[in-house]
Each structure stands twice: as structure tokens, then as C-alpha cells.
Amino acid sequence: MAKVTYNEDNIRSLDWKEHIRMRPGMYIGKLGDGSAADDGIYILLKEVLDNSIDEFVMGHGKQIDIKIDDGRVAVRDYGRGIPLGKVVDCVSKINTGGKYDSKAFKKSVGLNGVGTKAVNALSDRFLVKAVRDNKAKIAEFERGELQKDRRVKKMKEPNGTLVEFEPDQSIFKKYRFRSEYVENQLWNYAYLNAGLKLNFNGKTLVSRNGLLDLLERKTSKEQLRYPIIHMKGDDLEIALSHGNHYGEQYHSFVNGQNTTQGGTHLNALREAIVKTVQEHFGKNYDRRDILSSVIAAISIRVEEPVFESQTKTKLGSSDMGPEGPTVRTFIVNFIKEKLDNYLHQNPETVKALEKRIKQSERERKEIAGIKKLANQRAKKANLHNKKLRDCRLHFSDSARKVEEEDRKATTIFITEGDSASGSITKARDVQRQAVFSLRGKPLNCYGLTKKVVYENEEFNLLQHALNIEDGLDELRYNRVVIATDADVDGMHIRLLLLTFFLQFFPELVRNGHLFILDTPLFRVRDKQKTFYCYSEEEKQDAIQQLRGKAEVTRFKGLGEISPNEFKDFIGEGIRLEPVILNEDTDIDDVLAYYMGKNTPSRQNFIIDNLRVEKDDLKEGDEEELALEDNKEELLAEA
């Protein structure tokens, strides 16, 4: 064994930007390319926005302008502006900022003085401009290094701060800001700060009724069992109702931060709803039946909150403040008073609520009869077949608690057929990537009850592989990837799987865990170079680069791609399309349109989009002409 020296030469100190760049995950979580809502580029945007939001909360500035163009981000607020003499320090010195003064920023989001410094260190270009009383100060950086420190000069502009940055492409490889994720992020800021106007790339986002607007945009009135109950008090706002969906749906926030992993405040909310409902009805209804199909949002403001990570996705605080009550006591008492009063004053809501609870109770008891048998079948199947090729993080010791960072790196590919699953299995990273193989096309479960999940062997085994039977708390893989062939059958299987998840486990989609694997359609090569092309345009470009002398292969199925080639497509350069539910997406309408009976709207879509223009047809295309002339008749027969 080689001898390792250990002396003074081995000891070195990193300055702030070196440490951030060496360990970016400590500051912004996972890096990613923008295909997931919690990828680092969105955390960079959040860190800048948080400072602007804090200014609004303190009563300064009612508008924030956000522009994102080709990876470049600009955020301009109209608050007080950074004190001009401290502009450089505030974006380049760790533990420097105004938020340590609890009088100025008593219930702020960012309290550790790191946020914008991390953005600065992880950006190819970073500019900050502060305007105060017709004077402006500008500083420019590259990867945390100060490049230009301009003198204060007179400038007739409204007070406020402008931050521009471009994420470092050597760290955020092939990144792309997805407008859907950015808009969802900005809408959350709007809901939590009623009256704040957010201008994003030509769109204006504003909310007047806070969390009430949030729930109204997330669900249609037709899907709610009773009108949304909106409760608001000092430092706490809650909105809730029950719907027709499966599972529980929550939106939780602390000091304006979207706590996607919940924490003490969300646990208290669930406990308070159960206790209040049980006491109001004087019945010991099962907790699961009360919370089944609930949709709720909670926003709380806490003095100097303690989060469980730098990205602030889970609240760890137990107290409201140094001299205040516990978070649990504060929320339970608030809901017990407000919700109970509301129920006494609204008897129609009480009837609808109890009807929903009793329906959940009936469904749960109906499923209970087959659940035990289904679990036994799943256990036996996992022991005796090869449907699930697990990753070593789980397989090495199924009882071992997987660390959060390890879990975030896990992926499961859902494939169809032995050839496709075989190629992915041989090419995968066995430490973090698992493969689940379907047998044929899954059932179209649109309109069916959750009972079918236990009765259908494929669905039962899939939910056990993911461990989502009782919610997402124990989800075994951070990324669930549908990997099907790029043909009609593959697209159909993809739709059937999307229907399964949206129908029975919508929270998996809403929380950004579901993806579609993007694999190349063509391989273009000669003796020196090989190009993998994902579209017809890319294929033509590759042929031109090889001067027209190229071998072109069309991949009809995943099984045709060799394991050696697959390593490139599911490794560091993996291309994933996230399944995103926008603010106004109605799951029931989407499923009814695509997977229900042939509705008039879908018939019209098919007629309009399968039109073959006669002028474009060549001589001898009689079959296409016949199809065009008789398309409506053929459609009716279909």
C-alpha cells in the first residue's frame, strides 16, 4: 500500500467562493439540468427572489420584474435597495447581510447570509445594481471574482435592486429554465404575498385572496365537495376542502418558502384537522378517512425558522419564536377555533364533509378485504420473479434507512418487454438505478376505483416496487421514469401509465417525481464519427456534417439500442421530460379527454389534425385521397 504523507502541506483553507464551487450541493441541493422543479438553477432564482420578497413583506416595493432569456436571468425589485457602501460585501462575503438584525427582518426567509453569495459563486456572470435616492452602485463578478467595482453615480431611477446572473455551464451542464416551473414558483410567491405584482416575460402574476386563490386555481369547483374554507390570522393562513381525488394534497409554506417536504407545521395541520372534525361530529372517525382526498394549503410565519437543509424544504422549528408557543400548539388552537366555528355556521358544508368521510370509510373497508391477499401476492412475486431489478442502495439491505441525499439520486425505469428492460438493466448504474418490467400493455384504469390497483397484478406490483401505497413519505425512488418505445404501442403504454399515476397517485406527479425518458430516434455515423439524433432535424444536420456519406439507423424500439449505447442515454447525459401539472391543469378533464369515451371534442381534434391536404398529394396517392374523402365516416366507424 502506498504511503500517504500528512503534514502542513496537506492543510489548506478555502475562501468562500472556492468552498461553494467545490461543494455546491451544500448550498443549493442537487444540480440538475432544469428538468426537475428542485434543480439548482431554480434554487439560484429563488435565492435572489427571496431578498426582493423580504423587501415587499417589510412594506417596500409592490412590484418585481423577472426576465429569463436564453439562460440569462434578471430580477429587479423596487424596495429600498442595498445600502450603496455594502453592495459588494452583501453579495461576496459569507455571513454578511441585513437579516441578522431581527428588528429589520423579523420573519425573513433567508437568515444565514449565504443565498446571493452562492448565486454569485455559481454564475459565469453576476451583476448587482443598487439604487437609493437617485444614486446607483454597480458591481460585476465572474464565478465569484470581482471584475468591476463601479463608483457610485447619480441615476434617476426608482429605488431598488437589480440582480442579473447566468448559471455556470461547467456546473449546470446543458441546463434550461422551464417556464412551467418558473411560473409555478412565481405563483407561489404571489399567493403568499397578496397584492404583489410579479411581471415575468410579459405575463403579470398577482393574487388578491392568497391561499384561497391557490386552491381555486389548483382545483375546479366541480371537483370540490364543498366550498373552500379560508382561515386567516396573525402569522397563519389556511385554506382547505375535500375533493374526489385519491390521496392527500398539501401546499405548505414557511415565511414564504415552499416547504415541499413539509415539517412540523404540516404535521400539526393534519393533526388539527383530524381532532377538530372528530370533536365536531362527536365520532371517532378514522384519521385516514378524514384526511382522504383532502386538499389544503398552509402558510405560517416563524421567527428565525430552523430548516433541515440549506434549500429550506422541511421545517424543523418547534417554536414560533423565543417567547412564543410551539408551532404545533399555535396551529392546533387556531384550527380548533376557526374551523369548528365555520362548521357550526355552515351546515351544508358539514353534510358534504361527513358524506365524503363515510365514502372514504366504505372504500377503505372494501379494499381491506383484498389488500392482505394482494400484499401476499406482491411479496411472493418479488421473491420469485424478475419484474423488479432493484438498485443496490435498496437491494443490499432493504431494512437499511437510505440517506436523503442517496434517495434523491435514485431512479426507476418502467419498461415494457424483455428486450427493452434487458438493455437498460445491462447499461444502468446498479447502485442508483432500478428497472421495473411490465408484461404487455397495462389496464386502462380511467374511471375505476382504487380497488383495481390491488386486483390487477401489474399495478399491485408497481405500487409495491415504488412503496407508495400509503403516500409519498416512503417513496423508494426520487425519479420515476417511463421508458417506452417511440412508436404507437409505446405511446399507448405511456398514456396508460400516466393515467394510472394521475388517477390514483396524483401527488407523485404534482411533486415532480414522474418523467418520460427521451431516447434517440436515429443513429448517424461513418467510420470516424457517430451522432445520436432525437429528431428529423438533428438527423439531417448530422448527415450534412458527414457530407452525406453516412449510415443511418432508425431505432424502432429500446431493445434495438445496445447496452453500450444505452449507457450514454441513461448516464450523465440523460434526457428526461418532466410530467408537469400547470396551475390550471384539471386532472379529471385531461383523463376524460384522452382516456374516456370518444367525446365530441376529441373527435373534432382527430378530424382537424388528421387532414391530408389534396393539393399536397402526389399522383398515385389514391389510398390517401380515399382516406381524406371518407375520414369522418371512418372516424364514426372507429
Asked if residue 371 is part of any domain, the answer here is no
SS3 586: coil
pLDDT of residue 627: 45
Q: Are residues 227 and 187 in the same domain?
A: no
Is there a domain that residue 367 lies in?
Answer: no
Count of domains for the chain = 4
At 43 the pLDDT is 92
Within 13 Å, how many C-alpha atoms sit on residue 251's CB side? 28
Q: CB within 8 A of 526, min separation 6: which ones? A: 546, 549, 550, 551
Beta sheet of 522-525, edge-to-edge order: 530-533, 522-525, 551-554
Q: What are residue 68's DSSP bridge partners?
A: 73
Domain boundary among 360, 376, 407: 360
- Give yes or no: residues 62 and 166 share one domain: yes
pLDDT score at 623? 44
In a domain, 337, yes or no: yes
H or E stretch at 294: strand 294-300
464-492 burial, b at 16+ Cβ within 10 Å, e below that, comes to bbbebbeebeebbbbbbbbbbbbeeebee
**Are residues 347 and 396 part of one domain?**
no
30 and 161 fall within a common domain: yes
Pure H helices in 570-630:
587-595, 600-609, 622-629
Is 595 buried (19+), middle (13-18) or exposed (0-12) by CB count in 10 A?
middle
Q: Are residues 582 and 507 in the same domain?
A: yes
Q: Cell match 388528421: residue?
A: 610
- Taking a C-beta distance cutoff of 8 angstroms, is the pair 332, 326 a contact? no
Question: What CATH number corresponds to the domain at position 313?
Answer: 3.30.230.10
Asked if residue 606 and residue 589 are part of one domain, the reply reads no
CB environment 297-315: b (16+ within 10 A), e (fewer): bbbbbbbbbebeebbbbbb
CA–CA distance, 211 with 422 (Å, rounded to integer): 47
Whole-number pLDDT of residue 513:
94
What whole-number distance in Å separates Cα of residue 432 and Cα of residue 410? 5
Q: Which residues contact 7 (CB under 8 A, 6 or more apart)?
A: none
Residue 3: CB atoms within 10 A of its CB come to: 4
Instruction: Say if residue 415 is in the same domain as residue 460.
Output: yes
Range of the domain at 323: 211-360
SS3 content of the chain, % helix, strand, coil (to 5): 40, 20, 40
The verdict on residue 27 lying in a domain is yes
* CA separation for the pair 378, 457 (Å, rounded): 8
Tell me which residue of 590, 631, 636 sits closest to 607, measured CA to CA.
631
Q: Same structural domain for residues 333 and 462?
A: no
Residue 259 near residue 266 (C-beta atoms within 8 A): yes
User: How distant is the alpha carbon of residue 311 from its chain centre?
Assistant: 14
Closest CA to 300 of 261, 259, 243, 344: 259
- 607, 621: one domain: yes
C-alpha cell at 18: 472556492
Q: What is the DSSP string of 104-164?
A: TSTT-S--SS-HHHHHHHTEEEEEEEEEETTEEEEEEEETTEEEEEPPPEE--S-SEEEEE
Place of cell 437609493: 132
Which residue type sits at 469?
E
Q: Is 63 helix (H, G, I), strand (E, B) or coil?
A: strand
Instruction: Quote the crossing angle between the two packed helices 347-384 and 457-466, to the nearest 10°.
Output: 90
Measured in degrees and rounded to the nearest 5, phi and psi for residue 525 equal -155, 160
Instruction: Give the N- to C-terminal CA distance of the chain in Å, as an integer.
Output: 73
DSSP annotation of 319: B
pLDDT at 349: 97
CB of 56 closer than 8 Å to CB of 64 = yes
Of 99, 61, 299, 73, residue with least CA distance to 198: 61
Give the CATH number for residue 105: 3.30.565.10
Residues 180 and 200 in one domain: yes
pLDDT of residue 3: 62
Q: Taking a C-beta distance cutoff of 8 angstroms, is the pair 129, 77 a contact?
A: no
Question: What are the average pLDDT values for consecutive 10-residue runs of the chain, which has 638 residues?
Answer: 58 72 83 88 93 90 95 96 92 65 53 74 96 95 94 93 96 92 94 95 95 90 91 94 90 88 91 96 95 94 76 72 80 96 97 96 87 78 71 61 70 88 89 90 89 90 90 89 88 92 91 92 91 91 89 86 87 88 76 76 73 46 47 45
Look at residues 412, 427, 433 and name the one whose alpha carbon lies nearest to residue 563. 427
Domain match, 389 and 355 both: no
The pLDDT of residue 307 is: 75
Asked if 303 and 334 sit in the same domain, the reply is yes
Instruction: Give the Cα separation of 396 and 29 in Å (integer).
Output: 26
Question: Cβ(500)–Cβ(471) under 8 Å?
Answer: no
Could you tell me if residue 465 is inside a domain?
yes
pLDDT of residue 613: 45
CATH for 474 = 3.40.50.670
Q: Which of 205, 223, 243 is the last residue of a domain?
A: 205
Asked, for residue 531, whether it belongs to a domain, the answer is no
Residue 289 falls inside a structural domain: yes
- Computed on alpha carbons and rounded to an integer, the radius of gyration of the chain in Å comes to 27
CA dihedral sign, ordered 486, 487, 490, 492: positive
**Gap between the Cα atoms of 553 and 532, Å rounded:** 10
Q: State how far the Cα of 461 lies from the Cα of 444, in Å rounded to an integer.
A: 16
d(CA 37, CA 479): 12
Q: Give backbone dihedrals phi and psi of 329, rounded to 5 degrees, phi first.
A: -60, -40
* Three-class SS state of 480: strand
Residue 543 in domain:
no
Cα–Cα distance, 613 to 633 (Å, whole number):
17
